[in-house]
């Protein structure tokens, strides 16, 4: 399955949302678009990188739309170390 990364320049995540994303990631849950969260990188300035396993970039956009988060550029990456 391809892996994608996207970036959010100003996405403030609450501690509760980070906890939910962490649990979903650890549980390996795949959503209705075939997307699985691999990792999430964030800071207190609202800079957020999502690393996702998905069938294609469109599925990544739909994944974000489902939770009401706009998604800019989506980049397929060749792998994770």
Give the C-alpha separation, 37 to 60, whole Å.
10
What top-level class would CATH report for the domain 3-77? alpha beta
Span 4-49, pLDDT tens digits: 999 999 999 999 999 999 999 999 999 999 999 999 999 999 999 9
CA-based angle 9:56:18, to the nearest 5? 40
pLDDT given at position 67:
87
Please report, for the chain, the start and end positions of each structural domain, with discontinuous segments joined by +. Answer: 3-77
pLDDT digits (tens, 9 = 90+) for 49-70: 999 999 999 999 999 999 889 8
Element (H, E) at 66: helix 57-66
Cβ-contact 5, 51 below 8 angstroms: yes
Position 52 scores a pLDDT of: 97
Task: Give the number of C-alpha atoms closer than 13 A to the C-alpha of residue 25, restricted to the C-beta side.
Answer: 14
- Is 81 a residue whose pLDDT tops 80? no
């Amino acid at each position: 399955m391809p892996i994608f990364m996207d970036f959010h320049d100003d996405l403030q995540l609450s501690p509760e949302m980070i906890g939910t994303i962490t649990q979903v990631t650890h549980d390996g849950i795949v959503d209705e678009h075939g997307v699985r969260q691999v990792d999430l990188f964030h800071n207190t300035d609202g800079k957020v990188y999502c690393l996702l396993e998905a069938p294609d970039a469109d599925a990544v956009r739909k994944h974000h739309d489902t939770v009401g988060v706009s998604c800019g550029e989506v980049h397929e990456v060749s792998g994770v170390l």
